[in-house]
Amino acid sequence: MVAPKPERIVAALKQAANDIIMPRFRKLADTDVRSKGGNGNNLVTIADEECERLLSRILTDEIPGSHVVGEEAVASNPRSIESLGREDWIWIIDPIDGTANFVAGTSIFCAMVALLHRGETVMAWIHRPVDGDTLMSEKGAGAVLLDFAERTRSVKVPPLDSDDLSTMVAAIYNKDIAALKGKFARVSRSGCAGNDYWTATEGHLQAFAFRRLQPWDHAPGDLIFREAGGCVRMLSGARYEPSKPNQVGILGAQSEGVWRKIAGMARIAVAAV
């Protein structure tokens, strides 16, 4: 089976963004938004649901016999996530990552897709509907930015001048290692994992730590960041595997050395919890 052409998936993401997401940005009615449960902050909109349905149809046509694991489909039927460990080809979809931002009228949100083959992420895309740019990668081929004007350039995580954490910006969403926040110059939380992976890939964010690891939040960014030269692993040092359930605790940094430094401190913090 031949992998899809990356630009065809970009076209699908742009179609979803232009036809479904952006026409509703800052124009959502009260009836267009609801809570998926929990503390009431886990929101879903009509745009999330319509976008996921559109992408699911297009992507499964790209690889006949492939399956989809989408955030909203799993919310409706939690057992659907079990196909991650059973099927050869799986599309993972996050139709709008940063839904709370989207609902609030804040422009920090994105649409994400990852393609898994036998449990391993082999292709990934993060699309920003507001500016029309897309970050994408293929296993072993690096990371590429395709801008709204269809211009492409390779993307590399820039080198660090120092491993001094007090000069760095970090995104820390892991409550178990909240004690590390004071070690950094600034802690920034955008409320959008795709944005954090993107920002780290560009070098504006030097480290990030997440606790909850839903595959639609992390499979795309994990591959893109690693292919751009960043270091991202579980706190144990193991590679993140999106097909494994109930994983907790991922850490990313601009370099291997900084990752090891933060990971050592994080393990001590977790042990103290």
Those residues whose C-beta lies under 8 Å from the C-beta of residue 98, and which sit 6 or more positions away, are 106, 108, 109, 110, 190, 191, 192, 193, 194, 195
Order the strands of the 133-138 sheet from edge to edge: 67-70, 89-97, 110-117, 120-128, 133-138, 143-146, 152-155
Q: How confident is the model at residue 149 (pLDDT cuts 50, 70, 90)?
A: confident
The mean pLDDT of 195-201, rounded to a whole number, is: 98
Residue 24: inside a domain, yes or no?
Answer: yes
More confident residue, 160 or 96: 96
pTM for the predicted model, two decimal places: 0.95
Range with the poorest average pLDDT among 192-196, 211-215, 253-257, 269-273 = 269-273
Residue 36: its pLDDT value, please? 82
Residue 85 pLDDT exceeds 90: no
pLDDT > 70: percent of the chain: 97
Tell whether 81 and 174 lie within a shared domain.
no
Per-residue pLDDT of 12-21, as tens digits, reads 999 999 999 9
Asked whether residue 129 falls in the same domain as residue 104, the answer is: yes
Q: pLDDT value at position 93?
A: 98
25 and 118 co-located in one domain? yes
Tell me if 110 is assigned to some domain: yes
Examine the fold and report which residue of 120, 137, 155 is the final residue of a domain before the chain moves on. Answer: 155
Distance CA 69, CA 56 (A): 9
Domain boundary among 104, 125, 155: 155
User: Are residue 194 and residue 139 in the same domain, yes or no?
Assistant: no
| pLDDT value at 147 more than 90 | no
Q: What is the predicted pLDDT for the residue at 84?
A: 87
Which has the closest alpha carbon to 193: 185, 205, 176, 178? 205
Flag whether 78 is in a domain: yes
Q: Is residue 169 part of a domain?
A: yes
Q: Give the distance from CA 158 to its chain's centroid.
A: 20
188 and 138 in a common domain: no
Q: Is residue 141 part of a domain?
A: yes
pLDDT of residue 124: 98
For range 259-270, the mean pLDDT: 90
Ramachandran angles phi, psi of 143, nearest 5°? -115, 145
Q: What's the mean pLDDT in 212-232?
A: 97
Whether 67 and 199 map to the same domain: the answer is no
Q: What is the mean pLDDT of the chain?
A: 93
Q: Which residue has the tokens 């999106």?
A: 242
Query: Does residue 184 fall inside a structural domain?
Result: yes
CATH number of the domain that 150 lies in?
Answer: 3.30.540.10
Q: What distance lies between CA 199 and its chain's CA centroid?
A: 11
Q: Which of 121, 155, 189 is the last residue of a domain?
A: 155
What is the identity of the amino acid at 238? A
What is the extent of the structural domain holding 221? Answer: 165-272
Please provide the size of the chain in residues: 273
Q: Is residue 1 part of a domain?
A: no
pLDDT band at 79; cut points 50, 70, 90: confident
Lowest mean pLDDT among 32-41, 114-123, 135-144, 249-258: 32-41
Q: For residue 236, what are its two tokens?
A: 């144990």
For residue 201, the domain's CATH number is 3.40.190.80
Q: Please count the structural domains in the chain.
A: 2
Same-domain check for residues 176 and 146 = no
pLDDT for residue 12: 97
The pLDDT confidence band at residue 39, using thresholds 50, 70 and 90, is low
Q: In terms of domains, do 89 and 214 share one? A: no
> Residue 160 domain-assigned?
no
In this predicted structure, the answer to whether residue 1 has a pLDDT above a threshold of 70 is no
pLDDT value for 161: 86
Same domain? For 148 and 173 the reply is no
* pLDDT confidence band for 273 (50 / 70 / 90): low
210 and 75 inside one domain? no
State whether 14 and 108 are in the same domain. yes
Residues 143 and 184 reside in one and the same domain: no
